[in-house]
Amino acid sequence: MYASIRPLLFRLGPEGAHALTLKLMRLVGRLPPLAALLRAWFSAPDKPVQVFGLTFPNPVGLAAGYDKDGLAWRGLACLGFGHIEVGTVTLRAQEGNPKPRLFRLPEEGALINRMGFPGDGSERVAARLFRRRTESLVLGVNLGKNKDTPLERAVEDYLALMEIFAPLADYLAINVSSPNTVGLRRLQARDALNDLLGLLLKRRAAMDLENNLPLLVKLAPDLDQEELDDALDVLLSGGIDGVIAANTTVSREGVDSPLASESGGLSGAPLGGRSTSMIRQIHQRTGGKLPIIGVGGVMCGDDAKVKLEAGATLVQVYTGLVYAGPGLVREIKRSLTAA
């Protein structure tokens, strides 16, 4: 069915089509009969995974960036996700980068985005996550700094965001790897990352939390070996619960589209190999001690299997949904339970 709808959606601009999809899924989440119908339509056997002290109904999640403002996560959950990661959320609302800032590369099965964390800000997103659901879906929140927050004060944004979302999320993901906020990736350097995570872990320890509140860090696929080793040393020594590998890439290796010259982060099929290689390196480097969420180029069930075989515990999708449609989640789940 999606194959017949996709050409119509692709007549809209990428950002417009995405906004329309979110509106429809938000409506689904508000109408219980429609939500039940969608859950039945996209049902597939679950394969629970226990990691970070949490039980995920299945290994397939929705990556950050799809539902930045927590508008449609209830409806999106009806597609069969085991977890959904809302965000990236910034402390204060901001416009993001000028449009156009999202580009489709259909011949590559890819997207390029330079969104720059546009969003409604933490207060409004938190209100949408209040009065959570009772179903088993795991809900994560991805956190980032505001564009106008100086890098040396970024920790203040992350600390404030942790305070707001700790009672509302099952886990928090610290985004220090988007290529679309100037200077943000410098927070992945050993000393900067050590200082940032040290303060976040100290604050978490001081909180009166019902659960452990797992903290994950999302890294860039463009780190060289020494940079990745430095980052992993910090994560392991500090007691971070897991890593998300990987964010979008600034590389255009193997991309022939005329749009390759657009600035921003590349996601989708061309990122698949680079992401899987990074997962394998992390798994080997840490001896499997650091659980990994694999994201980047998961376009079908086989792509998910490859990431899990490389060492990931869970996988996430985003660009795959744009090209394969909502049935992708069901396809991946069936593929994994048949393995």
Exactly one of 4, 43, 177, 178 is catalytic; name it: 178
Closest CA to 88 of 212, 265, 259: 265
| Alpha-carbon 145 to chain mean position | 16
Q: How many CA atoms lie within 13 A of 183 on its CB side?
A: 11
Query: Which are the contacts of 237, defined by CB distance < 8 A and separation ≥ 6?
Result: none
Would residue 275 show up in a list of annotated catalytic residues for this protein?
no
Q: Which residue numbers are catalytic?
A: 178
